[in-house]
Chain A
Amino acid sequence: MSEMWINMGPQHPMTHGLWNLRVKIDGEMILDVDPEMGYLHRGIEKISEDRHYNEVITLMDRCCYVAGLAWEHLYIIASEEALHLEAPERALYLRVLCEEFQRLASHLMWYAAFVQDIGLMSPFLYGMRDRDLILDLLQSYTGARMTYEYMRVGGVRSDLPPGFTDRTRKVLDWLNARFVEYDQLCLGSDIFHKRCDGLGILKANDCVAHGVTGPMLRSAGVPRDLRRDRPYAVYDQLEFDIAHADTADVTGRYLVRMEEMRQSLRILRQVVDWLDRHPGPVMADQLPRWLGAPYAPVGNEGYLLKRHYPKGLGFSAVEEPHGEAQAYVVNEGGEHPYRVKFRSPVFANISAARQYLIGYRVADIPPIMGSVDVCVGEVDR
């Protein structure tokens, strides 16, 4: 068989989303790859320029649909900075609670998809089953399973329901026990090691040059985590370790993500304890009406009046489950943001595809791309 290009996508079981990986192969060897994105480009940045600040949150949930709350958090921090607002402390803790739940849910989703890529069938179901437990918790205080619209500029929408923290602790204990089972199913199998060790290697220097962040970078031996290096919200008051490995391969990324989930459990325990002890407001007081202050009826005269707020530029960076996400919000003194620009971690991680795919085999593509954890929604935006 001579060299040929094959299209893996947009409809292909490997992609886990809507994108196309063009692969040039010789037999089973990969000679060249060319990712083709944009099949899910919905123009979120353009639509955001047409929306009120709080209405953009709707889009943020759908921007990365497995980590909606992390993206809400990202956008909220940037726009609060651009609008010169501050949220109360309990709201900050609630946001951290959301983000860590989201990290768990996203990593469990990743686990489910990744094990399917290497041919393990039943752990897919286990991952989805345990993810549903977290979604149940999120649903109990945000009201939705996936698209939450929970955070607001200046706070969060609502407080926790009674009995929430006890239920959370139960779920955390259950998950802790399940992670042992996950590791047995994957690391306990020789075939897993044969498939994943030394695969898709991307060394630290290449990671930095190509802008790769998140678990991929940490698996290459760089313990970089914005939660620790550039603390936002209340991460500087919480205790946790940065998971990292030095193999820079698929197994390393697996280990990093599993360890991150354990650390998330640790963070969540602390946050839940804090929330038990410190009741308080979850929304800032001094909010302009058009931002939808709590219980302000929508449509009163203040809502539609064009208020001018001091101009400002807001920048935020959040350690999203996939890596470093950044937002740049330009406030030109109106109800709508003048320009919103997002940086998606997966966007950069995919752009380095040539570095970690060429030279391997066709059968290696699913595990490698699975370990990258592609979420097309945030790549194409």
Chain B
Amino acid sequence: MSTITLYSVAYGLASLLLGALGSILPGAARAAVTNVDVVTGLGVLIFAAILLAASMLNTIVLIWWERKLLGRFMDRRGAMHVGYAGLLQNFADGFKLFRKDTVKPREADALGFFTGPAAYMVTSMIIFGVLPISTGWNSGALPLSLLLALAIFSFAPLFIFVSAWSSNNKYSLMGGMRSAAQMIAYEVPLLLAVVAVVIVSGSFSLTTIVYEQQNYWYWGPLFVALIVFVAAMLAEMERIPFDLPEAEAELVEGWNTEYGGMLFAFFMLADYLRALVGSILVVLLFLGGWTMPSWVPSAATSFPLAGIFWFMLKTYLVFGVFVWIRASLPRVRTDQLLRVGWNRMIPLSLLAVFLAAVLVTVKCVWPFGCVPSMGV
């Protein structure tokens, strides 16, 4: 195969390693080691390891990107002195938090206190297993990858609430309750906005959704759905203007008030993992994934790994928009947030679904042209 894919890299590495291992082992063991199943298994492991490393690295770079961008919005510089332009700042933070004591308050419930952050982190990371990044750079054609991603995405309020409740702090508890209410309220418009995309693309597979956007990206025809999706995603990611659960002004640090050290790092990391997932989903569903429009010169789209390049560029730009929103909007109140969620977002998302149905029936939209195969 000419295209490099994540599979080919992982299996290449696996067969390389096992071949090397086999060549220094005696005959029987060599046969066992170079067995197809063993190679496949190791390939899957390497595949997962690459995904893990890539997602963590991207998250850390994302935090750096937010800090620098936020600094610029605020007329200052952001982290500068650790590494070039502060690139290593987040590694320093991570190592420091790793070394810090992990304090459990005496009255806290140990089971929930320790498993909450871990589960939050793990569920946030699993999502990367189903997100395609470029042609071939995915975990296979899961027919329902979009649904799976969103299902895992919506686990978070449970674990946040468990960890908030078990840390036995009033601020944590209030933050946890707010978080649960908010995420459940915004789960519905989020899914309905996705339904609009699914109606138009005719598939739950993220890869297929991207392929369906060859003709035009969905942000134009499905603008209402995009607005609903981004707003609901902001609420799910708990970022300003919807960051009530960790509203610094009234609830000290929200549901992670009692967490320090590595557990706090888990929370921080998982938050940004979810932010990354949110940005990636926006890119996949509405901004054409790794494809570029036809007027882009082919030199810019045909170099090696061009798909990944454009995909990451879009992701970071989308996240930049989230940061921009964070830098310029105040925070809403819980009751207002819920009222907006139930009274505005859900009708708006239903409208988006309706518009998508109309689009599929008409198969034409000005000025994007007609696509006879749409919605099939």
Contact = CB atoms under 8 A, between A and B. Distances in A.
Contact of B328 (A122, A363, A364): A122
A4 to B, nearest CB: 7
A53 to B, nearest CB: 42
B216 interface: no
B74 A125 contact: yes
A125 B326 contact: no
Contacts of A13: 248-249, 252
Of the listed residues A116, A129, A194, the one surrounded by the most CB atoms of chain B closer than 10 A to its CB is: A194
A28 B182 CA distance: 14
B70 interface: yes
A191 B332 CA distance: 6
B100 to A, nearest CB: 19
A297 interface: no
Contact of B333 (A116, A117, A363): A363
A121 B74 contact: yes
B243 A363 contact: no
Contacts of B335: 28, 361
A195 B249 contact: no
A119 B328 CA distance: 9
Contact of A195 (B73, B171, B174, B332): B332
B248 A120 contact: no
Contacts of B75: 122, 125-126, 129
Contact of A119 (B70, B331, B336): B331
Given A13-B252, A119-B240, A365-B250, A189 B330 contact: yes
Contacts of A189: 329-330
A366 interface: yes
Contacts of B327: 121-122
Given A6-B171, A191-B241, A191-B330, A122 B252 contact: no
Nearest to A117: B249
Nearest to B71: A125
Nearest to B327: A122
Contacts of A119: 240-241, 243, 247, 249, 329-331
A121 B336 contact: no
B170 interface: yes
A72 to B, nearest CB: 31
Interface string A169-202: 0000000000000000110010110110000000
Contacts of B331: 118-120, 191, 195
A366 B249 contact: yes
Nearest to B73: A122
From DSSP, what is the main secondary structure of chain B's interface residues? Answer: loop
Contacts of B73: 122
B81 interface: no
A179 to B, nearest CB: 16
A121 B333 contact: no
Contacts of A191: 241, 329-332
B76 interface: yes
A23 to B, nearest CB: 10
Contacts of A116: 248-249
Contacts of B173: 1
Contacts of B156: none
Nearest to A194: B336
B244 interface: yes
A205 B129 CA distance: 64
A6 B170 contact: yes
A14 interface: yes
Given A126-B75, A362-B174, A12 B333 contact: no
Nearest to A6: B170
B89 interface: no
A115 interface: yes
A192 B240 CA distance: 13
B107 to A, nearest CB: 15
Contacts of B336: 194-195
Of the listed residues B76, B244, B249, B252, the one surrounded by the most CB atoms of chain A closer than 10 A to its CB is: B249
Contacts of A129: 75
6 contacts: A13-B248, A119-B329, A125-B74, A191-B332, A195-B330, A361-B333
Given A191-B241, A363-B334, 16 more contacts: A6-B170, A6-B171, A8-B250, A115-B330, A118-B330, A118-B331, A120-B328, A122-B74, A122-B327, A122-B328, A126-B74, A189-B329, A191-B329, A195-B331, A195-B336, A363-B247
Interface of B: 70, 73-76, 170-171, 173-174, 177, 240-241, 243-244, 247-252, 326-336
- Per CB-CB distance, the 4 closest pairs between chain A and chain B, nearest first, are A119-B331, A366-B249, A125-B74, A118-B330
